[in-house]
Amino acid sequence: MTEFLQQIVNGLSLGAIYALIALGYTMVYGVLRFINFAHSEVFMVGAFSGYYLARLFPHQTIATGLIILAGSMCICAVLGVLIEKLAYRPLRNRSTLTVLITAIGVSLLLQNAGQAVFGPDPKAYPSIFPQKNISLPHGLIISSNQIVVLIVTVVLLWALRHIVMKTSIGTAMRALSFNPVAASLVGINNDFVISFTFALGSALAAAGGILYALNYPSIDPLMGTLPGLKAFVAAVLGGIGNLPGAALGAFIIGLIETFVGGSHWSTYKDAIVFSILILILLFKPAGLLGKMETEKV
């Protein structure tokens, strides 16, 4: 029983990080209908920004931790806007395939730039928040980092929901995702809304990067690839384009990965996660919470 509960704690804290990344994939898909494969590299840059910002604060408290987190989120928001402006905007009216290939190109560019700038060796990550292990009844142990991950994720998910559902920019995002032409006809500045979406998604990825590095304190420029792919699977599982779906999918993937990892089949944990992607595409192409759209011809 203890083992089962402990695995749930592990799975939820892993799923929370996937959720932050998956939301970025799903938001960009919602407004632009393409998968931004460079997103997992924004996640990596977020972790590295935190690494360098942490050097400014020799003594870690909760306040400095939050400053580092906010700083990295700002850096990545700017990076996300720049990527969109330089790489995707000039191709806005081309076919989605062109943009998709460009996204893969940007992803490789950032990976290799990361190896050149940060160096390809794994770096030990500083503990940005004060660390402590908390023992719960039944021999359950939860680390302060896992609590930080869960709290930050829940707060950010709530903030995101508020922005998308309650603010005028959120309404504009939703309008754009329904119909970009009609949105611009009623006076929405599509370019600004798209930039804002990239900024928001990239900031969440940065938060994900820092939280990932806090829990698994060894970072390198290729660290984004696998978590990024799994978050993408999570977004598809939940129904790509659907925000609660992405969060739900991420928690499911986190739990599955943890339970498979703790079983006799630990060798196959990644294989099982990606098999799920194939099964969803076969039986429920719209994902758990997504709705089927009929293609207009």
Partner 1 sequence: MKNWHGHVLLTITLSCLIWASGCGQGGADSNTIKVGEYASLHGSEADFGQSSHKGTALAIEQINAAGGVLGKKIDLITEDNLSKPGESATIVKKFITRDHVVAVLGEVASGRSLEAGPICQQYKIPMISPSSTNPKVTEVGDYIFRICFTDPFQGKLLADFAKDTLKAKRVAILSDVAAPYSVGLSQYFREPFVAAGGEIVADQKYSSHDKDFKAQLTAIKAANPDAICVPGYYTEAGLIVLQARQLGISVPLFGGDGWEGQSLIDTAGDALTNTFYSTHFSPIKDTPEVQKFVKAYQAKYNGETPDAMAALGYDSALVLADALKRAGTTESSKLRDAIATTDIVGATGRTKIDEHRNAPKAAVIITVENRKFKFLKDVQP
Q: Which is nearer to partner 1, 57 or 259 (CB)?
A: 259
Q: What residue has token string 């003594």?
A: 59
Q: Which is nearer to partner 1, 217 or 244 (CB)?
A: 217
Q: Where are the alpha helices (DSSP H) in the chain?
A: 2-32, 39-53, 62-83, 96-118, 144-166, 168-178, 180-185, 190-215, 225-238, 243-261, 269-283
Maximal CA-CA distance, the chain: 61
String of b and e for 88-100 (b: at least 16 CB within 10 Å)?
beebeeeeeeebe
CB of 7 to partner 1, least distance (A): 5
> Which residues would be at the binding site for partner 1 (CB under 8 A)?
2-3, 6-7, 10-11, 14, 115, 119-122, 124, 133, 135, 139, 141, 143, 145, 212, 215-218, 220, 222-223, 226, 257-263, 266-267, 269-270
Cα–Cα distance, 74 to 70 (Å, whole number): 6
CB of 93 to partner 1, least distance (A): 39
Q: Which is nearer to partner 1, 137 or 187 (CB)?
A: 137
CB of 156 to partner 1, least distance (A): 21
CB of 211 to partner 1, least distance (A): 12
Q: What letter does residue 249 receive in the DSSP assignment?
A: H
Q: Which is nearer to partner 1, 6 or 153 (CB)?
A: 6
Q: Are 14 and 231 in contact (CB under 8 A)?
A: no
CB of 6 to partner 1, least distance (A): 5
